[in-house]
Amino acid sequence: MNEILIKKNLAPNVWLMGIFSPQVAKKAKPGQFVILRVVENGERIPLTIADFDKEKGIVYIIFQVVGKTTAILASLNENDSILDFVGPLGMPYEHDPNDKAYLFVAGGLGIPAIFLKVKMLYSEGKKIDIIVGGRSKENIFFEDELKKYCENLYISTNDGSYGKKGFVTDVLKELLESGKRYDEVFAVGPILMMKAVVDITRQYNIKTLVSLNPIMIDGTGMCGGCRVLVGNEVKFACVDGPIFNGFDVDFDNLLKRNLYYQDLEKNAFEEHKCKIGLGD
């Protein structure tokens, strides 16, 4: 169980894995996630369910190597197994059936969190536009897959090596200023990016959902690590979310909490690289 059936490199330090987990695949829905543990005594990390195949029992995850745990995960190969793979967790994505036009904004590694939602809405005949952004061309992935399910795919890169030079919010501004209107905007990516998207859509009173990425441990709300302030109320992203109304989210509080363990994570990653001989 939890065997890695597929492993593909999508971009620098970004990997797709197809995990054999029939029980998770059977019940998974768009918007949900898994929590996995790679090795004994290792930390638990949450990863979005990027896609699933109920018939084959495969759950697809996409992750970027940013710390010790993801580095260990990336070192595994096809036919290896992941120690723990728990899910599906979180509340699935819900939408108003009367809404017709959707805009998805994915920055950085946000694509895994929009792919299933886009596929579902496309199957319902909705009109879908997508904005994706990255640091440079090599950081853009899943372009062909997304094009299958949307009317327009807009790409931005920080360095201008592909698509429009700038940020996803620059494209968003241009679309809305040109008169484009959407019933719903869904944003996922770095916290500051999501906050910037919400600041823009609020001016146009466009319903905006965000998928949050706070620190998670147990996935049941018991540890309290994933608590976020939404509408001045404490919510737990693992059970109440991870999707929330962007207008109600306290992004400043979320950012502070996510930075709390940054130094510890960095030190753990550096120690791991030294042990395996990678150095800097």
DSSP assignment string, 164-199: EES-HHHHHHHHHHTT---SEEEEESSHHHHHHHHH
**pLDDT confidence of residue 129:** 97
**pLDDT confidence of residue 15:** 94
**pLDDT confidence of residue 279:** 55
CA distance 183 to 207: 7
**pLDDT confidence of residue 42:** 82
CA distance 237 to 74: 26
**pLDDT confidence of residue 274:** 57
**pLDDT confidence of residue 165:** 94
Among the listed residues 146, 176, 171, the one whose alpha carbon sits nearest the alpha carbon of residue 157: 171
Q: How far apart are the first and last CA of the chain?
A: 35
Q: Which residue positions in the chain have pLDDT lower than 50?
A: 268-270
**pLDDT confidence of residue 268:** 47
Domains in the chain: ranges and CATH? 3-89 (2.40.30.10), 101-211 (3.40.50.80)
Give pLDDT tens digits for 207-245.
Answer: 999 999 877 777 777 777 788 889 988 988 888 889 999
- Rounded to 5°, angle at Cα 66 from 213 and 35: 45
**pLDDT confidence of residue 216:** 76
Among the listed residues 125, 120, 246, 263, the one whose alpha carbon sits nearest the alpha carbon of residue 193: 246
pTM exceeding 0.95: no
The tokens for 174 are 């241009």
- Give residue 83's identity as a one-letter amino acid code: L
**pLDDT confidence of residue 109:** 86
Give the CA diameter of the chain.
56
Before 242, cis peptide (omega within 30)? yes
